[in-house]
Amino acid sequence: MTPAYTQLHHTFTRLSRFDHLSAIAGWDSAAMMSPQSSQARSEAMAELDLLRHQILTDARVGEWFKDVGHENLNELERANLHEMHRTWHNTVVLPDWLVEARTLAGARCEHAWRTQRPANDWNGFADNLREVVKLARQEAQIRAEAAGTSRYDAMLDLYEPGLRAADLDRIFGDLKTWLPGLLQQVVAKQAQSTPVPLQGPFATERQRALGLQVMQLLGFNFEQGRVDVSTHPFCGGVPQDVRITTRYKDDDFLPALLGIIHETGHARYEQNRPGEWLSQPMGRARSMGVHESQSLLFEMQLARSPAFLRVLHPWVIEQFGQQPALQLDNFIALNQRVKPGHIRVDADEVSYPLHVILRYEIERALIEGEIEVDDIPTLWADKMQQYLGIDTRGDYRNGCMQDIHWTDGSFGYFPTYTLGAMYAAQLFQAARNAVPGLDDAIAAGNLQSLSGWLKENVWQHGSRFSTADLITRATGETLNPAFFRKHLEARYL
Amino acid sequence: MTPAYTQLHHTFTRLSRFDHLSAIAGWDSAAMMSPQSSQARSEAMAELDLLRHQILTDARVGEWFKDVGHENLNELERANLHEMHRTWHNTVVLPDWLVEARTLAGARCEHAWRTQRPANDWNGFADNLREVVKLARQEAQIRAEAAGTSRYDAMLDLYEPGLRAADLDRIFGDLKTWLPGLLQQVVAKQAQSTPVPLQGPFATERQRALGLQVMQLLGFNFEQGRVDVSTHPFCGGVPQDVRITTRYKDDDFLPALLGIIHETGHARYEQNRPGEWLSQPMGRARSMGVHESQSLLFEMQLARSPAFLRVLHPWVIEQFGQQPALQLDNFIALNQRVKPGHIRVDADEVSYPLHVILRYEIERALIEGEIEVDDIPTLWADKMQQYLGIDTRGDYRNGCMQDIHWTDGSFGYFPTYTLGAMYAAQLFQAARNAVPGLDDAIAAGNLQSLSGWLKENVWQHGSRFSTADLITRATGETLNPAFFRKHLEARYL
Ligand SMILES: [Zn+2]
Ligand SMILES: [Zn+2]
């Protein structure tokens, strides 16, 4: 009889092949697809999703998970089995009707949001969101009962396995004691001199050339990936062929450039996942938080540092010529500008965690049933005032309706952005401690030792270790917000 | 109980969704994929092929085909059922071991061919080809027994359903009586004045702009497709999003331009298949021959005509400036150059059918067991001498090893190229008869009435009618090589 582990290995290999097709079709939908194809594409993707669901929920898979307990596995196989089981459990625990209802409610909510947001129509939006929240609570309840955790913990576990709301309360609680004050200090300091703004236009072709040059510097493997354009930039594709995207603005080249650097961080993680395990769950990136730590390490820790900006500066001048905004000091100031605002995705690295803490506190309470959808606007306005010092009353469009993470029921996802920022600070400091002369190498435009350290300590491990173990092995301790605080103070005060 | 037709309809809808993903991934492999991904892509595609095979060979599908006989179907449903059954039968009739063995032997033969061809290594190639032919004969034998036809007829039916070798013998027999003589006459005539050759370089960006302009003129719907670059140009994707490709040469813009026109002919057929039937076999293009008739109608009948070349001419000058080769008469002469050569894919429309007849005669005899692989070189050299007046002895590289249609076992495919050329001539003449002022409209750069006629008479029908019925309904008679002859004589004598 074929061992159960072999059967599971085969099943997940098969799934990874369908994932490959799904990833490429998903990239194509965003970067290449003609509008007339969207209906047919959705149907094809849904058929593939259904197939993957059927493969995982086949009764034999459950049997194999029972039988595999008696088999002798080495450490890597055990780690793989753990990840297989997590994937399987997270899928089979939900009844089919709930998966369908959730998809439908999310699609309806998002579709209506497209016109409700410009119309600032909170009441209309709330009607749909209530249904989404109702189903998300049912999902969370089912997951929580199976895991023996709270509802929100069960959702959080989907995106950052092992992390609990209690951890977040401690970590974000720490941030809340000093970050709003630090933000006000930085704003006051930067008020003394406003940088000269960029004068466009900046030709797309030159922006693209600059982006490619920077990707090369950052070690993106062009034999194993490409960069294209999409409305919402992302990192997709498959580890053997990573597809990042960006979006070019005529009047400012920095969003595309920093966006490319961000996605290149994600891409290098993907390109360097463990080669022998790519067909298996253990070969996957560890978590959303760890993934974001790699993009933010590249974008925030590295690319917005004066040392790196000095490396970029002559390339920028070469593409766009000199202008007052591109005097070196001004160029650095533009990249380190801190300005609290309404919109999370436009936020600087000092404000960003405060947006996330606000979302976390509201979504946790929503899922735990402590508040209702109708309570969101008041809570939102209060917290924006308290954390960011901004009056957002009545402006739903740029308030709680600004993005779609809640409309599709992805509660538990927001915290990973700030976990990523904090892991990034901690990892970057660990790399500096471990690699002699790292800062000098970066200042000289040599990123190989940084890449080498990241590959050794993060990328090559896939999901072999838990996030806590991965971070501890790499940095000597579990997540410690002090590194993030030190980074912000050093850069901005 | 759900009617069997409904079950079949659902099954083929599901298959079409997987076909959608396969088509997009196939396009991606040729136009976008990074080299490191090719192994993972092949595995993913093979997994999808296996799945499609499993869906079709599921025993219930056979039951439904039995039960559906008792159900009341309208004419379109009956046509659809016919195409469903054809697809199903062509799949299930082959045992799995043969499908696998054929794929392996084809892959091995093609892989070795890549180095054997440059080395002119016929003996090495023949070793692998013998295995391919052996398996192809087994395939043909199984198909022939099921269909009650000859072996070669059974293979031909895969590409041009309903056509028999007896038809080809008649049609190609006709061509052979006059085409070699006509070719010699045209060559003698054109020897009197050689056109001035083009002087490059021709910038890729300008070639691309010209291509897009011509696609627009030809009615390519850019809301429903796109054009990219690949080593071997093709028309792929899905009807809602047709992906054509081309390849740019620095020193000559005509191959890319005419290639784009050719693929646009395929693309318009795809873009105009019947909208309500796209998920079903009846919605597919009729056959390989009819498909090629649309590309050749655009490329040969239309684009190489003086009237159309006069429309293109100012656009060419606008992109590349004037030069002696681009004097109008010379530009027309360049596009109507007839020059018998070794290589089929480089052949002009007068020589091309002779390459095809040669392949047909050899592959039919091979599959029927009348000759062996070792007989190919002598037959090749004899026929090249007889049909095209070229001595090819000993030059296997540019002889029987020049392309890969045989290495993957696609015996029966070659004739469709020339069937397409003949259908094209017949259809174009029928359009001229049916549409008053068609030639004037074309000369004025207005292609809407031609498109309208093609849509009405070919594109919108999908596979509703047999090829013979389709051609008869459109032109008043079945395939008649006289139209092709008249076309060649009018253009070249
Ligand atoms: Zn990111
Ligand atoms: Zn073609």
CA distances from A166 to A141, A156, A163, A492, B489 (A): 18, 11, 8, 30, 86
Specify whether the CB–CB gap between A420 and A296 falls below 8 A: yes
- B415 at A interface, C-beta within 8 A: no
Kindly name the residue from A77, A83, A160, A263 that is annotated as catalytic: A263
β-sheet bridge partners, residue B243: B226, B236
Domain range annotation of chain A: 4-159
**A355 known member of a binding site:** no
The reply to whether B17 touches chain A by the CB within 8 Å rule is yes
CA atoms of A285 and A454, how far apart (whole Å): 13
| A439 contacts A301 by C-beta, under 8 angstroms | no
Give the residue from B390, B477, B345, B387 showing the smallest Cα distance to B178. Answer: B387
User: Inter-chain contact B34–A278, Cβ cutoff 8 Å?
Assistant: no
Distance of alpha carbon B455 from alpha carbon B268, whole angstroms: 9
Of A35, A37, A222, nearest to B238 by CB-CB distance is A37
Residues of chain B numbered 50-89 and touching chain A (CB < 8 Å): 51
Among residues of chain B, what percentage have pLDDT more than 90? 97
> Each residue's pLDDT tens digit in chain A (493 positions)?
799 999 999 999 999 999 999 999 999 999 999 989 999 999 999 999 999 999 999 999 999 999 999 999 999 999 999 999 999 999 999 999 999 999 999 999 999 999 999 999 999 999 999 999 999 999 999 999 999 999 999 999 999 999 999 999 999 999 999 999 999 999 999 999 999 999 999 999 999 999 999 999 999 999 999 999 999 999 999 999 999 999 999 999 999 999 999 999 999 999 999 999 999 999 999 999 999 999 999 999 999 999 999 999 999 999 999 999 999 999 999 999 999 999 999 999 999 999 999 999 999 999 999 999 999 999 999 999 999 999 999 999 999 999 988 988 899 999 999 999 999 999 999 999 999 999 999 999 999 999 999 999 999 999 999 999 999 999 999 999 999 999 999 999 9
- Residue of A32, A39, A45 best to disrupt the B interface, most CBs of B under 10 A: A32
Question: Structure tokens of B220?
Answer: 């390519």
ipTM of this predicted complex? 0.93
Cα B129 from Cα A247, distance rounded (Å): 50
Closest residue in A to B222 (Cα–Cα): A34
Considering only the beta carbons, identify the residue of B21, B35, B36 that sits closest to A44.
Answer: B21
Cα of B187 vs its chain's centroid, Å = 26
Q: Does B36 touch chain A (CB under 8 A)?
A: yes
Give the chain B residue nearest A239 (alpha carbons).
B37
A292 annotated to a ligand binding site = yes
Cβ-based neighbours of B10, under 8 Å, separated by 6 or more = none
- pLDDT grade for B1, boundaries at 50, 70 and 90: confident
Q: Which ligand places an atom closest to the C-alpha of B267?
A: 2
What pLDDT digit, counting tens, does each position of A14-27 carry? 999 999 999 999 99
> Could you give the CA distance from residue A447 to residue B182 in angstroms, rounded to a whole number?
68
Q: How many CA atoms lie within 13 A of B144 on its CB side?
A: 17
Helices (H) and strands (E) in chain A, counts: 20, 3
For residue A388, give the DSSP letter.
I
Is-contact A407 A399, C-beta < 8 A? no
Shortest CA distance from B271: residue in chain A: A36
Q: Across the interface, do A47 and B17 touch by the CB < 8 Å criterion?
A: yes
Rounded Cα gap, residues A295 and A244, in angstroms:
12
Q: In the predicted model, what is the mean pLDDT of residues B90-104?
A: 93
Is residue B10 less than 8 Å (CB to CB) from chain A? Answer: no
Q: Is the pLDDT of residue B134 over 90?
A: yes
State the ligand closest to the CA atom of A244.
1
pLDDT at position B35 over 90: no
> By the 8 A CB rule, do B449 and B266 touch?
no
Question: What's the gap between Cα B203 and its chain centre?
Answer: 29
Is-above-0.90 flag for pTM?
Answer: yes
| B255 burial via Cβ count (<10 Å: 0-12, 13-18, 19+) | middle
Mind listing the pLDDT tens digit for each residue in A375-427? 999 999 999 999 999 999 999 999 999 998 898 889 999 999 999 999 999 99
Q: At A49, phi and psi to the nearest 5?
A: -60, -45
Confidence of residue B149 (pLDDT cuts 50, 70, 90): very high
Q: What is the structure's pLDDT at A335?
A: 97
- Write out the H or E segment, with its range, that includes residue B122: helix B122-147
Band of the pLDDT at B42, cuts 50, 70, 90? very high
3 state DSSP class of A478: coil
Mean pLDDT score, B43-69: 96
pLDDT of residue B278: 97
Question: Tens digit of pLDDT for each residue in B156-167?
Answer: 999 999 999 999
Q: What is the DSSP string of B380-418?
A: HHHHIIIII----TT--TTTTTS-STTTTT-TT-THHHH
Asked whether the beta carbons of A216 and A251 are under 8 A apart, the reply is no
